[in-house]
Structures are given as C-alpha cells and as structure tokens.
Amino acid sequence: MTEEILLRVLHGEVLGASEAYTLMHGLMSGEFTQAQMGAILGILRVRGERKEELLGFARAMRDFATPFLIPAGCLAADNCGTGGDGRGTLNISTGAALLAFALGVPVVKHGNRSVSSRSGSADFLEHLGFPIDLAKDAMERLFAETGFAFLYAPLYHPAMRAIQGVRRELKVRTVFNILGPLTTPCSVAYKMVGVYDPKLLEPVAYVLSLFGVRRGLVVWGEPGVDEVSVSGKTCCLLVEEGRISPLTFHPHEVGFPEYPVEEIQGGDPAENARLFLDILSGEVRGAHRDALVVNAAFLVWLSERARTLTEAVQKVEKAIDSGRALERVEELLGVARRMREGGEHGRHS
C-alpha cells in the first residue's frame, strides 16, 4: 500500500487524507530510502500540498509524537510560524509568546532549531538561557509552576530523525515547515499560525478547524512574512468552533506606522536574544518593538485576555514600559535554569 501511494506521488497525483496519513506513517517509520524521501519532499514542494494531504500528514505526525501533559482545564496557547519566508526577521513569534506569557497567557511553545533561516525558536531561547532540552516531566513541572513550556521538536517527535538528514541536505522549506505548527504534541485551546504564502491560509485554517481548537488564527503579512506585519496588510483566517472567517489588519489600526520590512530584520540567535532583552528593558523602540507588540497583542486577544486588539496592544505596551514583562521573563528563566542544574534534561529523547 505504501509503495503504491509513493508511486502516485511520484506521478504527481494528489492524495486524500487517509492516503497522506499512510505516506507520512511510512516516512516516520523509515520505510523509504533517502532518495525516495527527497523525491517526495521535492514533488510536494513544487506542486504544493493540498488541504486533505496536510490533514493526513498532521494526524500521522501527532500520532507518532510523545504527548506533553498540561493540567486539566488549562486553556493554553501556542503561536508558531512556518518559517521559510526568507526575510530573516527577529524571532518575532517566540518573543511574542514570551510577552503573552508575561501577561498571564499560559503558553506551550512548539519549535525547533533553524533549518532554512538564521535563527530558529530553539536557537533564540537557548541564547536567552532557556534550557530547551529539559526532560518531559521537568518541562511539565515547569509549565505547571510558571505557565510556560517549550517543546523542542526533536524531543517530542523522535520519529523525525528518519527524515531530518534529508531536510538538512535540501536546505529549503518543505512540507514539514507547514506541519510543525500543526503538530504541537499537546492540546492547546488557542493556536496562532503564521504562513509564508497566502495560498496556505485556507488549507492550514481547514486543518485547525478539524483539530478542535477553541480559537485559531492563521496569518500572512505583506510583503511576505509568516507573522502579523508592521510593513503592510496582514491577511488572517479566524477559526472559531469549526467556523472559518476572514480578517484583515493594518498597523495604523492600532496607531503604529508602517515600516520597511528591512527594519524588522534580525541577526543570529545571540543578536536576536540581546535585541529582545533590550526591547523589554526599554532601550529599543521602533520597528522591532512594534512588531513584537502587535504579534503578542494578537495572541493575547486570541486567548480571550482582551476584548479588542487595541486593548491587547495597550496591555502589552504597559507590561513592557512598567518592567513587568522583563521581570516575568527573568523569573521564568531563573526557574528553568534551576531545573536544568538539577540534571533534568533530555532523558526522554
């Protein structure tokens, strides 16, 4: 069956959800050669992945994942970009997640090291001093104590080892860039996903609508960023109780100017970590700060901690200006480091 599906992909045919599930199951199980895996990823990249394929792929990856447990009744949030937009911006989604956490949103951030960019979420957090490889039980305790967890993808998706070498050799975005944000190994109530191509808005929203999120948001920003943009319009699809509705956003709606996209570019992980802390300490204003603020505000609003986006922006700015955001992030890093010093890292990998 798996070989038949492989041949269909190689001939350019589109798969249904169940066939896509079987194909991904084969990829995760190591049933294909490196050449076959490279061909599959290359063909999917060229022709584009359909929504039923994404649904089947994501379901298979979630079934292979190591589950992360959060307290019953906890309405946690996750935000993640697909990457692959080629813009090299500051680690905005991860910084926004930390800001939302500082405002009381429980956050389970799912991410990885860079594959096609200069700085992935794991690289960025590591340079902030966060122990990305804490053992699962320690990370679960960290979340229960602080309200923040980072799920380093290789530890929670061990079956991905079968495909990781091919991904690194290709050095371009693949279907796994899209699947990463859809395969958080725990159930979150609020899910915000940034995509690198507006054509992905509807397929990703479709998958979220079937995964039972309380509220989901898929965003693409001009001139081509996988986050809410401060350089032009952002196109969004809001998912609520399985229904999908379109939204648009422009930074002037919350009193922000429009910046050239070059002004939100970042550097390597160390530079991005320093810049983030400088923003939290009040030393940096302008494009980088506004990009972080508006993306954090969207997550705060999506998580029902503010009635309007304007109110959410005001809350985020107040948290930065008062020093509360920096204080909360430093508290989190302190607790996480103490757990690391207790030797609780990576045993489940």
Q: What is the rounded distance in angstroms from the CA atom of residue 43 to the CA atom of residue 312?
A: 42
Tell whether residue 191 is among the known ligand binding residues: no
DSSP string of 81-117, one letter each residue? E---SS--B--HHHHHHHHHHHTT--EEEEE---SSS
Tell whether residue 85 is among the known ligand binding residues: yes
Tell whether residue 113 is among the known ligand binding residues: yes
Tell whether residue 114 is among the known ligand binding residues: yes
Cα–Cα–Cα angle for 321, 289, 214, rounded to 5 degrees:
90
CB atoms within 10 A of CB 202: 13
Instruction: Tell me if 112 sits within 8 A of 84, measured CB to CB.
Output: no
Tell whether residue 295 is among the known ligand binding residues: no
Stretch (H or E) spanning 336: helix 324-341
Tell whether residue 163 is among the known ligand binding residues: no
The helix/strand/coil state of 33 is: coil
Tell whether residue 91 is among the known ligand binding residues: yes
- Rounded alpha-carbon distances, angstroms, from residue 314 to 72, 296, 300: 30, 11, 11
Tell whether residue 224 is among the known ligand binding residues: no
Tell whether residue 227 is among the known ligand binding residues: yes
Tell whether residue 29 is among the known ligand binding residues: no
Tell whether residue 229 is among the known ligand binding residues: no
Q: What is the rounded distance in angstroms from the CA atom of residue 156 to the CA atom of residue 184?
A: 9
For residue 282, which amino acid is it?
G
Tell whether residue 304 is among the known ligand binding residues: no
Q: What is the DSSP letter of 286?
A: S
Tell whether residue 147 is among the known ligand binding residues: no
Tell whether residue 119 is among the known ligand binding residues: no
The helix/strand/coil state of 265 is: strand
Q: What is the rounded distance in angstroms from the CA atom of residue 43 to the CA atom of residue 36?
A: 11
Tell whether residue 84 is among the known ligand binding residues: yes
Using omega within 30 degrees of 0 as the cis cutoff, is the peptide bond preceding 223 cis?
yes
Tell whether residue 197 is among the known ligand binding residues: no
Instruction: Tell me if 166 sits within 8 A of 34, measured CB to CB.
Output: yes
Tell whether residue 93 is among the known ligand binding residues: yes
Tell whether residue 252 is among the known ligand binding residues: no
Tell whether residue 187 is among the known ligand binding residues: no
Query: Residues 293, 295, 298, 304: what is their CA dihedral angle, to the nearest 10 degrees?
Result: -70
Instruction: Tell me if 227 sits within 8 A of 299, measured CB to CB.
Output: no
Tell whether residue 183 is among the known ligand binding residues: no
Stretch (H or E) spanning 207: helix 201-210
Tell whether residue 26 is among the known ligand binding residues: no
- Show binding-site residues for 5-phospho-alpha-D-ribose 1-diphosphate: 81, 84-85, 89, 91-94, 109-117, 121
- Show binding-site residues: 81, 84-85, 89, 91-94, 109-117, 121, 167, 226-227
- Show binding-site residues for Mg(2+): 93, 226-227
- Show binding-site residues for anthranilate: 81, 112, 167
